[in-house]
C-alpha cells in the first residue's frame, strides 16, 4: 500500500531525521574524545611509575651469601684490580645476596650505574646505603626488600657490609692517586721519565712484532735559563706548563708525551716514521715561536725550542733509540736552535 505525504509532512520528516543524525554525530564525537583522554591519562600514569625490572642472574632471596664470603670477594677484587669501576659490580652483587634483598641498584652522582635482581615497580621498603666518593661522584647502594621488608638485623648487616665496601673503594681511590703520582710529573701533568721508558720498551716490542715504525722526538727549550734569571723561577714553571700544554695539543691519544727532566721533553710516536714525526715536531716548533707565553699577570716571553727525531732501526734498544734522538737534538742546537733535526740534518 502506498502512503502519500504532503509537502509539509515530508519537510517535517527530513528535519527529524537530520536532527537525529546530528545528535548521534555529537554523541560519537564525545565518546571518541572521552576514550582519547582516558588513553592518554592511562599512558601518562604508566610512564610516571617505574616499571619493574628483573635480572635473571639474581637468585632467590633464600640463597643468601655468607657475610664473611662477601668480604673475601670484595677483598679479592680489590687485590686484583684496585679499580673502583670493577669493584662496584662485585659490591652490588655480594651485598644484595648477603642481605637477601630482591634487588639492588648502584648510583653515582644520582645516576644509575648498575643494578641486579628485581628493582622498581614496588611500594616495598628500600634501604639506601652510602658507599663514599668515587671518580664518578658520591656513590650509593639502594637495596630493594621485596614484600617482606628488612628486619633490623638485616639492616645492621647491610650497613656493616656497606661500610666495609666504602673502605675498599676508598683504598682503591687512594691507590689510583698514588699510582698516578708515581708516573706523573707534578708540574706539567705529563708522564715522567720512568713511565716513558716503560712505554718505550712496550712499544719497541710491539713495533718488532708487527713490523710497524716507531719514532722518538726529544725537545729542549732554548735559553730556558734566561727565563729563570730574568723573571724568576715561577715564570720558568709557567713556561714549562705552557709548553707541556702545547705538546699535548699536537699529539694523538696513542702518543706518549713526557717531561724527562728540567726543560727537556720526550714524545713517543707509535706507528710513525721519522718524516711524519718531523712534521709533528715542526708544527710544535712553529706554534711555540709565534705565540708569546704569559708569565705572571702582565708579562710575556718569547720562547723557542729545538727538536731531535730518531726512528727505531733493527737491533736498537730503548737506550740506543734515546741516544740517537739526543744526538739529533744536539745537531739542532748546533744548527742555531729553533729547528728540527732528523739524524744529522737540520730542517
Q: Using H for helix, E for strand and C for coil, what is the string for 297-344? A: CCEEECCCEEEEEEECCCCCCHHHHHHHHHHHHHHHHHCCCCCEEECC
Helix (H, G, I), strand (E, B) or coil at 94: helix
Q: Is 282 annotated as catalytic?
A: no
Question: Measured between alpha carbons, how far is 14 from 6 in angstroms, rounded to an integer?
Answer: 13
**Other beta carbons within 10 Å of 185:** 20
Band of pLDDT at residue 133, cut at 50, 70 and 90: confident
Does residue 73 have a pLDDT over 60?
yes
pLDDT at residue 111 in the model: 93
C-alpha torsion sign, points 284, 286, 292, 295? positive
pLDDT higher at 203 or 10:
203
Query: Helix-strand-coil percent breakdown of the chain, rounded to 5?
Result: 50, 20, 25
Mean pLDDT of 174-189: 84
Mean pLDDT, rounded, for 290-299: 87
Task: Determine how β-strand 340-342 pairs with β-strand 305-311.
Answer: parallel
User: What are 142-159's pLDDT values in tens digits?
Assistant: 999 877 788 999 899 889
CB 346 within 8 A of CB 339: yes
pLDDT at residue 53 tops 80: no
CA-to-CA separations, 214 to 194, 298, 327, 344, in angstroms, rounded: 19, 42, 17, 18
CA dist., res. 322 & res. 307, Å (int): 13
User: Strand 299-301 relative to strand 340-342: parallel, antiparallel, unpaired?
Assistant: unpaired
SS3 41: helix
Given this model, what pLDDT does residue 175 score?
78
Tell me how far apart the terminal alpha carbons of the chain are, to the nearest angstrom. 118
Mean pLDDT, rounded, of the chain: 80
What are the chain's domains?
A: 67-182 (3.30.450.40), 193-346 (3.30.70.270)
Catalytic residue among 263, 264, 282, 311: 263
Residue 65 confidence (pLDDT): 59
124 pLDDT higher than 70: yes
Q: What is the pLDDT of residue 139?
A: 93
Burial of 68 (0-12, 13-18, 19+ CB in 10 A): exposed
pLDDT at 274: 96
Amino acid at each position: 500500500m502506498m502512503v502519500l505525504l504532503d509537502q509539509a509532512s515530508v519537510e517535517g520528516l527530513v528535519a527529524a531525521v537530520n536532527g537525529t543524525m546530528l545528535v548521534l554525530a555529537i554523541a560519537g564525537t564525545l565518546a571518541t574524545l572521552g576514550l582519547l583522554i582516558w588513553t592518554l591519562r592511562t599512558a601518562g600514569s604508566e610512564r610516571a611509575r617505574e616499571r619493574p625490572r628483573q635480572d635473571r642472574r639474581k637468585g632467590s632471596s633464600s640463597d643468601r651469601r655468607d657475610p664473611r664470603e662477601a668480604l673475601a670477594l670484595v677483598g679479592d677484587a680489590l687485590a686484583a684490580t684496585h679499580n673502583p669501576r670493577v669493584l662496584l659490580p662485585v659490591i652490588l652483587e655480594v651485598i644484595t645476596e648477603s642481605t637477601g634483598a630482591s634487588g639492588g641498584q648502584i648510583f653515582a652522582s644520582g645516576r644509575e650505574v648498575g643494578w641486579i635482581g628485581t628493582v622498581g615497580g614496588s611500594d616495598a621498603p628500600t634501604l639506601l646505603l652510602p658507599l663514599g666518593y668515587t671518580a664518578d661522584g658520591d656513590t650509593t647502594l639502594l637495596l630493594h626488600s621485596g614484600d617482606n621488608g628488612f628486619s633490623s638485623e638485616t639492616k645492621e648487616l647491610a650497613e656493616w657490609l656497606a661500610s666495609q665496601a666504602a673502605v675498599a673503594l676508598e683504598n682503591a681511590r687512594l691507590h689510583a692517586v698514588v699510582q698516578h703520582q708515581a708516573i706523573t710529573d707534578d708540574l706539567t701533568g705529563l708522564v715522567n721519565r720512568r713511565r716513558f721508558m716503560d712505554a718505550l720498551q712496550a712499544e719497541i716490542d710491539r713495533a718488532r712484532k708487527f713490523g710497524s715504525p716507531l719514532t722518538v722526538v726529544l725537545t729542549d727549550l732554548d735559553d730556558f735559563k734566561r727565563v729563570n734569571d730574568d723573571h724568576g723561577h715561577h715564570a720558568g714553571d709557567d713556561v714549562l706548563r705552557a709548553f707541556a700544554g702545547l705538546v699535548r695539543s699536537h699529539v694523538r691519544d696513542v702518543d706518549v708525551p713526557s717531561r724527562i727532566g728540567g726543560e727537556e721533553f720526550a714524545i713517543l710516536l707509535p706507528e710513525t716514521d721519522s718524516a711524519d714525526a718531523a712534521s709533528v715536531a715542526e708544527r710544535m716548533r712553529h706554534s711555540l715561536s709565534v705565540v708569546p707565553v704569559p708569565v705572571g699577570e702582565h708579562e710575556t716571553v718569547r720562547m723557542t725550542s729545538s727538536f731531535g727525531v730518531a726512528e727505531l732501526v733493527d737491533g736498537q734498544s730503548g737506550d740506543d733509540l734515546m741516544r740517537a734522538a739526543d744526538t739529533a737534538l744536539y745537531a739542532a742546537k748546533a744548527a742555531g736552535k729553533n729547528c728540527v733535526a732528523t739524524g744529522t740534518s737540520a730542517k
